Amino acid sequence: MEGNNFEPRIIAFCCNWCAYAGADMAGVSRLEMPPYFRIIRVMCTGRVDPLFILHALASGADGIIVAGCHPGDCHYISGNLKAEQRVKFLKEMLKQTGMDKRFEMYFVSAGEANRFHDIIWEFTERIKKLGPNPVKGKVSPYMGIHKREQLLLELTAIFNGLKKEPQPFFAGEEEVIPGFGQPEFDSERCVGCGACYRNCPENVIHLNDVDGKRVLSHYHWSCITCSTCEEICPEEAVKIKKGFELKEFIDQVETVDVELPLRKCVECGKMFATSPQIEKLMKEEGIDIPEELMNLCPDCRNRAMARKFKEIAVNEISNVIYSGDYYG
């Protein structure tokens, strides 16, 4: 309902050790509070995933409070600071939708009953002025296979429910929460060996051989910054860059990173390796491989070497026979 008759639905994620105790003291002290909020007790606000907030908004909650210990007082050292970083990150992400005004992080100690009372009233008034959640009844909460997919589905649902097209928004290394980033390739060092592609646990990196080129690309949305690609690359050509780009994430943009020419087998015509791979192998110390062999695919190279060995063997046998040594 609009206007004065609007009764908002507010969810409060409260830390067990401080904010929940403060809320309990406010109740014991019989401080008058609005009946529109429901508390979800968590052992630490560090347990509050951004997905909890997004899921609540997609489900129709009009406002969400995250209330934890004051900085320096966290029962789990820094859980409250992690929660604060997540809330700030999510607020920046949703600023273009206006939904950022519907959730807030507060610090409340166990003895601050009056502060909890004031926060509830202040936040309730804010939500009443904003009115009902505009996506309420327009979208349904989704259940993804994993957290990253769930985040994608919830964000997409909110933007679709508001009929808004996501605009570019980038959070750098200082602003982004852990787990968001993407591989960054050095095209001068990459030889296209495919080690990053074969070992990526999330299938972030793609490798395709098309039109005489080997193309390495990646999906920004699915990278979890595990750094496997960075660790496995023999050329140190890939690094993980932490950050988050909202539009690329929602649109699941595939970014092309490196395009390398493929070497064509002069015998069978099959594309078998990138030119930088061949050039690197030929420059390796202690390896003396005839260039004509390097223009053959592994199968044709093996056949050519077998023919060469056969020729050498036949010549050696012939030399022995005609020299007279064969008969002693």
Q: Kindly state whether residue 13 falls inside one of the protein's structural domains.
A: yes
Among 225-229, 263-267, 318-322, whose mean pLDDT is lowest?
318-322
In a domain, 311, yes or no: no
Statement to judge: residues 16 and 134 lie in one domain: yes
Q: Within this chain, do residues 66 and 19 fall inside the same structural domain, yes or no?
A: yes
| Mean pLDDT on 281-288 | 68
**106: in domain:** yes
Residue 314: exposed, middle, or buried by beta-carbon count in 10 A (0-12, 13-18, 19+)?
exposed
Indicate if 8 and 134 belong to the same structural domain.
Answer: yes
Residues 209 and 120 occupy one common structural domain: no
Domain harbouring 84, CATH code: 3.40.50
**Total domain count, the chain:** 2
Q: Is the pLDDT of residue 190 over 60?
A: yes
Please give the pLDDT value at position 285. 55
- Show the domain range for 17: 3-142
With vertex at residue 142, the alpha carbon angle to CA 92 and CA 40, rounded to the nearest 5 degrees, is 70
Using alpha carbons only, what angle is made at residue 195 by residues 189 and 197, rounded to the nearest 5 degrees? 105
The tokens 């012939």 sit on which residue?
318
Residue 325 placed within a domain = no
Of 114, 142, 170, the residue at which a domain comes to its end is 142
Is residue 169 situated within a structural domain? no
3-state SS assignment for residue 66: strand
Instruction: Indicate if 130 and 191 belong to the same structural domain.
Output: no
Q: Which residues pair with 66 in a beta bridge?
A: 13, 105
CATH number at residue 192: 3.30.70.20
Q: Do residue 269 and residue 188 come from a single domain? A: yes
Does residue 207 register a pLDDT over 80? yes
In this model, does residue 326 exceed pLDDT 70? Answer: no
Q: Indicate whether 131 and 11 sit together in one domain.
A: yes
- Domain-embedded: residue 147: no
pTM value is 0.81
Question: What SS3 state is found at 215?
Answer: strand
Digit-coded pLDDT (tens) for 165-179 = 999 999 999 899 999
- 2, pLDDT greater than 60: no
What does the alpha-carbon distance between residue 324 and residue 328 come to, in Å, rounded to a whole number? 7
Cα–Cα distance for residue pair 193/196, rounded to 1 Å? 8
pLDDT at 328 over 70: no
Rg (CA), the chain: 31
Q: How far is CA 311 from the centre of its chain?
A: 56
pLDDT above 70 (res 325): no
* Strand bridging mode 170-171 / 244-245: antiparallel
Q: Which residues contact 270 (CB under 8 A, 6 or more apart)?
A: 264, 297
Q: Is there a contact between 234 and 161 (Cβ–Cβ < 8 Å)?
A: no
* 138 and 186 share one domain: no
Is position 233 within any domain? yes
| Amino acid 305: pLDDT | 79
Give the pLDDT of residue 65: 98
Mean per-residue pLDDT for 147-158?
90
